[in-house]
Amino acid sequence: MKILVTGTAGFIGYHLVHRLLAEGHEVVGLDSINNYYDVSLKIDRLESAGINRRFVAYKEMVESQLNPRYRFIQVRLEDNQVVENLFREEQFDIVCHLAAQAGVRYSIKNPKAYINSNVIGFANLLECCRNFPVKHLVYASSSSVYGLNRKVPFSTADNVDHPVSLYAATKKSNELMAHTYSHLFGIPTTGLRFFTVYGPWGRPDMAYFLFTNAILNDKPIKVFNHGQMSRDFTYIGDIVEGIMNILPTPPSPNEQWSGEHPDPASSSAPYRIFNIGNNKPTKLLDFIATIEEILGKEAQKTMMPMQPGDVESTFADVSGLQTQFDYQPSTPLRKGLEDFVEWYLKYYQKNKIIV
């Protein structure tokens, strides 16, 4: 199939492209390559997937020298005309939308970046899927939509109307916008609520990356909410496995859906929502202890209060994916962190970068 993947210079997008190419698909990738975090890491991801470093020319499509089935365009999704022209010319079978302005705390400092990328950019993408029909639109939502919810595990059957960050609010808005387009125009859409994804080539703003860097450099780590937190850490390989199963299977309208007792995760339209997580939350202090064991060094811990926009815990109910796709996350936390540390040491030693 011909598949558009947005956010291909990002963490999840990079790994997904590798898998799609390995299975013989044709991929067109988009990314704005913004400077939210280290741009060189994003470019190195593209190079690793087969895009030549000389690609960086705004709006220019470049044929990969290493894999002719992978092309890349540096563009913001807010640039509607470029994106529309691309859809017109390419006639995609499937769209996997992973591009977004990420980060909970950054959304407090720079809210406009989230509105532009996550709301306006997504609206442009929906319009393109409407005018140039695709078989399936799969898009990234987030566990952050659960906000103030306290009932665990977090279920897609739960109400999610109380976000605690603008980032979370934009992800909830994506789900609402997708449903509207599924209802009005019959576009099959699937939203995936990712739960704390980690692994090689990960994001430098994520806790496991920051902890590893600080411990190796004998610097203190910030432990928020005095360590009284837990996360459903999910290995990137398990995430990609889930996405690959979902992509070729667009949703059908739920014939049992009732407006009197509405199921938030499905609809009378071709629309659905899934949690995609590990289904095994880990306490933050246990998570840190595992990294310490792998590195053979003890962390200097600075206990901090809860940060605005954060939640105390996440815990994914993945029964929807298990029932429909036999989704079984299989990577133990220690093995996943060992894979990350191995990549981290090789990558930064190879590139002679002092983080």
Residues β-bridged to residue 72? 29, 62
Q: Is 14 labeled as catalytic in the residue annotation? A: no
State whether residue 111 is helix, strand or coil: helix
Q: Taking the CB of residue 157, how many other CB atoms lie within 10 A of it?
A: 13
Using CA of residue 174, residue 321, residue 319, residue 100, what is the dihedral sign? negative
Q: Which residue in 36, 37, 70, 167 is the catalytic one?
A: 167
Say whether 35 sits in a helix, a strand or coil: coil
Q: 157 to each of 169, 171, 269, 275, how far by Cα in Å? A: 18, 17, 17, 10
- 299 neighbors 208 (Cβ within 8 angstroms): no
Nearest to 152 by CA among 321, 312, 325: 312
Q: Is the dihedral of CA 80, 96, 149, 106 positive or negative?
A: negative
Q: Which residues are catalytic?
A: 167
